[in-house]
């Protein structure tokens, strides 16, 4: 194979192994972190400093500022996070993403195979999920550096290429060209961490004197600035089709990096001198990888400190770029999910948060259905009953969307055992909520089948309202119980028994009224069907309470509490 072709394929192969290792490490770190991610996300408060800290830690765990930014955009689009809050998270994410470059700067070439073999052994031999995830993380860490090692080996011949030396000289002498190169690289690869790793490897190649870097720190910094601009493209693409606030969040990310690049491009030489001063000393070719990592961290730290007190101004800027449009409101169909975001399926902690919100929304719709049925008085109440039918259609459509979302999460294969159990528990909850909605529909259809009139005695209607009222009280209590607000299974069982006794009493009373000609015998089937559905609702409430007492705590899944 031609040497040049071999070098090109070697570079791409090394880059592929690096990206694969980085993605695998990110996925395994998420699994190993498990519930710790909930603690991190619970810090997403209105305090900008805590927001920056949460963004930095989350990105350090995810090993990707793009992943954090996409997560934030999903939360903003779902209405779970305000724009100023999201901006503070993004400021922190830009700091957290520099950890990858800092790790790469460590010279651990001699230990690569130790990491790969040790990680494989732990992953292969250990039975516990957490230990397996830690082993796979170590294995992926070794792969990441193996990719770097391959890129380093194939880049060495470039030091003897006059054409490449001239090309790098042009980049080093024209900072704007360096910014363009860095931005293009990141847009193509879709990972600033990967392009910075390539940059660190290029810069670590010795020049003709064997001591100086091929490109030098002053030549690497503009490329680094371009990398930071290029990574905002992922966020902008993720915001397509999202709410206006989600688009503003992506634009805020772009403004942060573009403003930083515009500021630092005029200060490349003094900034390079400062980084050399605070970085380890030695031959340039030996220390430039750490210098680039420090320049990356320093850039994001400085820009965060500059923008942190000016978050309000940054929000105003993005509001000007994407203003409110009074003439066009965003219309969302009632049956469309308000919280689910397919882009977050690979991040199960965030995805579970959104799915829990949607399940709660379903439970609220069923509660409204029960209230409407209880309100129904008999004559001329077709409008109320029609509303129940609309609610039923909305709830069942949401049930389908949420089930599909959970199926996609399981198919992604990134959930921990705990998260998988929580998802299964939520699916059980959703199933009983949907059953409640279906039973409400059945009662409504039974009523509408008599031309919108109950045609039952006042005593029968009074008993039915009391029975539905008991179901509503029981259901509301159980939903609070699932939300972690406390509750007792004894109370639920007492309510269940009360409904059962009322059911028997109502059946006997109806037979007596039929015998006294107060109710028509033809309505016995209708009345029996309604009572049967009410009894099934009570059973569903007991099922929900059992699940809440066992595995499902919605408050913990919401990470708001």
Instruction: Return the percentage of the chain with pLDDT > 90, whole number.
Output: 14
- Residue 50 burial (10 A CB sphere; 0-12, 13-18, 19+): middle
In this predicted structure, the answer to whether residue 259 has a pLDDT above a threshold of 80 is yes
Q: How many angstroms separate the CA atoms of 271 and 282, rounded?
A: 18
In this predicted structure, the answer to whether residue 125 has a pLDDT above a threshold of 80 is yes
pLDDT tens digits, 267-289: 888 999 999 998 888 888 888 88
User: For 455, left (φ over 0), alpha (ψ -120 to 50), or beta?
Assistant: left
The number of domains in the chain is 2
User: For 451, left (φ over 0), alpha (ψ -120 to 50), or beta?
Assistant: left
Of the spans 2-11, 48-57, 219-228, 371-380, which averages the highest pLDDT?
219-228
Of the spans 135-139, 173-177, 394-398, which averages the highest pLDDT?
394-398
pLDDT band at 308 (very low <50, low <70, confident <90, very high): confident
pLDDT band at 19 (very low <50, low <70, confident <90, very high): confident
Last residue of a domain, one of 321, 355, 389: 321
DSSP readout, 162-174?
A: HHHHHHHHHHHH-
pLDDT greater at residue 405 or residue 525: 405
Same domain as 19, residue 132: yes
Q: Where are the alpha helices (DSSP H) in 129-242?
A: 129-155, 162-173, 175-189, 192-203, 217-230, 232-238
Which residues make Cβ contacts (< 8 Å) with residue 120, sequence separation at least 6?
Answer: 135, 139
CA distances 445 to 368, 389, 400, 546, Å, are: 17, 8, 22, 29
The stretch 232-245 carries a mean pLDDT of 74
Residue 326 lies in a domain: no
CA distances 158 to 197, 210, 346, 447, 538, Å, are: 17, 13, 38, 82, 75
What SS3 class is residue 92? helix
**What's the confidence (pLDDT) of residue 381?**
61
Of the spans 237-241, 349-353, 549-553, which averages the highest pLDDT?
349-353
Q: What DSSP element (H or E) covers 51?
A: helix 48-62
- What's the chain's average pLDDT? 80
Last residue of a domain, one of 305, 321, 337: 321
Which residues make Cβ contacts (< 8 Å) with residue 205, sequence separation at least 6?
Answer: 152, 155, 156, 158, 159, 213, 214, 285
CB atoms near residue 43 (< 10 Å)? 18
In this predicted structure, the answer to whether residue 377 has a pLDDT above a threshold of 60 is no
Chain position carrying tokens 């399940």: 359
Same domain as 551, residue 471: yes
Q: Where are the alpha helices (DSSP H) in 325-416?
A: 348-375, 382-412
In this predicted structure, the answer to whether residue 560 has a pLDDT above a threshold of 50 is no
* Residue 451 structural domain: 347-558
Same domain as 413, residue 267: no
**What's the confidence (pLDDT) of residue 43?**
60
Residue 428 lies in a domain: yes
Residue 106 has phi, psi (to 5 degrees) of -70, 135
CB atoms near residue 410 (< 10 Å)? 15
Residue 342 lies in a domain: no
Q: How many angstroms separate the CA atoms of 324 and 320, rounded?
A: 9
The stretch 36-42 carries a mean pLDDT of 61
Which residues make Cβ contacts (< 8 Å) with residue 149, sequence separation at least 6?
Answer: 14, 109, 112
CB-CB contact of 293 with 204 (8 Å): no
Same domain as 373, residue 275: no
Same domain as 157, residue 51: yes
pLDDT tens digits, 431-472: 999 999 999 988 887 766 555 455 667 787 788 888 888 999
- Which of 115, 108, 93 lies closest to 253 in space, CA to CA? 93
Same domain as 242, residue 386: no
Residue 337 lies in a domain: no
What SS3 class is residue 263? helix
pLDDT greater at residue 523 or residue 491: 491
Residue 412 lies in a domain: yes
Distance from the Cα of residue 364 to its chain's centroid: 23
Same domain as 310, residue 174: yes
Same domain as 355, residue 310: no
Assign residue 442 the CATH number of its domain. Answer: 1.20.58.220
CA distances 39 to 479, 503, 556, Å, are: 24, 46, 10
Which residues make Cβ contacts (< 8 Å) with residue 199, sequence separation at least 6?
Answer: 182, 220, 223, 224, 227, 292
Same domain as 294, residue 355: no
Residue 332 lies in a domain: no
Same domain as 355, residue 288: no
**What's the confidence (pLDDT) of residue 405?**
93
Same domain as 297, residue 438: no
In this predicted structure, the answer to whether residue 399 has a pLDDT above a threshold of 90 is yes
Residue 261 lies in a domain: yes
CB atoms near residue 420 (< 10 Å)? 15
Buried b (16+ CB within 10 A) or exposed e, 531-558: bebbbebbebbbbbbbbbeeebbbebbb
Last residue of a domain, one of 321, 355, 387: 321
The stretch 3-9 carries a mean pLDDT of 75
Side-chain half-sphere exposure of 392, counting CA atoms within 13 A: 20
- Lowest-confidence pick of 116-130, 211-225, 227-241, 411-425: 227-241
What SS3 class is residue 325? coil
- Which of 124, 13, 47, 89 lies closest to 350 in space, CA to CA? 89
pLDDT band at 327 (very low <50, low <70, confident <90, very high): very low
CA 299, 305, 252, 319 dihedral sign is negative
Record the tokens describing residue 124, joined without a space. 């292969």
What SS3 class is residue 213? strand
pLDDT greater at residue 217 or residue 457: 217
**What's the confidence (pLDDT) of residue 330?**
47
Residue 327 lies in a domain: no
Same domain as 229, residue 89: yes
In this predicted structure, the answer to whether residue 424 has a pLDDT above a threshold of 80 is yes
pLDDT greater at residue 414 or residue 453: 414
DSSP readout, 294-324?
A: HHHHHHHHHHHHHHGGGHHHHHHHHHHHS--
């Amino acid at each position: 194979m031609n040497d040049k072709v071999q070098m090109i394929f070697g570079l791409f192969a090394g880059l592929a192994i690096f990206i694969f290792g980085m993605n695998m490490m990110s996925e395994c770190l998420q699994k190993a972190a498990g519930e710790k991610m909930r603690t991190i996300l619970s810090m997403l408060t209105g305090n900008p400093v805590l927001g920056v800290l949460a963004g930095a830690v989350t990105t350090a765990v995810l090993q990707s500022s793009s992943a954090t930014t996409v997560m934030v955009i999903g939360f903003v689009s779902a209405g779970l996070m305000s724009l100023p809050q999201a901006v503070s998270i993004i400021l922190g994410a830009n700091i957290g993403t520099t950890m990858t470059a800092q790790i790469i700067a460590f010279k651990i070439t001699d230990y690569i195979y130790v990491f790969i073999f040790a990680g494989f052994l732990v992953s292969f031999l250990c039975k516990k999920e957490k230990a397996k995830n830690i082993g796979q993380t170590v294995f992926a860490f070794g792969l990441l550096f193996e990719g770097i090692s391959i890129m380093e080996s194939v880049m060495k011949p470039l030091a003897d290429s006059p054409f490449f030396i001239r090309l790098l000289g042009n980049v080093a002498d024209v900072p704007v060209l360096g910014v363009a190169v860095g931005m293009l690289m990141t847009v193509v690869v879709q990972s600033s961490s990967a392009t910075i790793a390539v940059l660190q490897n290029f810069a670590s190649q010795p020049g003709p004197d064997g001591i100086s870097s091929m490109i030098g720190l002053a030549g690497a910094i503009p490329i680094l600035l371009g990398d930071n601009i290029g990574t905002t493209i992922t966020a902008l693409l993720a915001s397509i089709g999202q709410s206006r606030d989600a688009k503003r969040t992506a634009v805020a990310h772009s403004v942060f990096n573009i403003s930083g690049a515009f500021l630092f491009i005029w200060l490349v030489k003094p900034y390079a001198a400062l980084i050399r001063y605070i970085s380890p000393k030695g031959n340039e070719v030996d220390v430039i990888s750490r210098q680039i990592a420090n320049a990356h961290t320093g850039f994001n730290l400085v820009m965060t400190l500059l923008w942190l007190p000016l978050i309000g101004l940054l929000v105003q800027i993005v509001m000007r770029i994407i203003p409110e449009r009074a003439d066009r409101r965003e219309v969302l169909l009632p049956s469309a999910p308000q919280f689910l975001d397919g882009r977050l399926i690979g991040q199960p902690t965030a995805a579970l948060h959104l799915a829990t919100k949607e399940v709660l929304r379903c439970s609220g719709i069923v509660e409204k259905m029960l209230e409407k049925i209880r309100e129904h008085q008999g004559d001329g109440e077709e409008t109320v009953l029609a509303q129940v039918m609309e609610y039923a259609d909305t709830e069942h459509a949401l049930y389908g969307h949420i089930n599909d979302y959970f199926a996609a999460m399981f198919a992604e294969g990134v959930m921990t055992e705990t998260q998988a159990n929580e998802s299964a528990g939520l699916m059980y909850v959703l199933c009983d909520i949907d059953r409640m909605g279906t039973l409400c529909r059945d009662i409504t259809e039974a009523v509408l089948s008599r031309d919108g009139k109950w045609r039952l005695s006042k005593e029968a209607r009074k008993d039915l309202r009391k029975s539905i009222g008991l179901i509503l009280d029981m259901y509301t209590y159980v939903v609070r119980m699932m939300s972690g607000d406390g509750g007792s299974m004894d109370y639920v069982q007492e309510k269940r028994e009360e409904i059962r006794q009322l059911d028997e009493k109502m059946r006997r009373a109806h037979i007596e009224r039929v015998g006294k000609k107060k109710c028509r015998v033809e309505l016995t089937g209708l009345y029996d069907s309604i009572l049967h559905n009410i009894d099934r609702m009570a059973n569903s409430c007991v099922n929900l309470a059992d699940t809440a007492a066992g595995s499902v705590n919605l408050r913990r899944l919401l990470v708001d509490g």
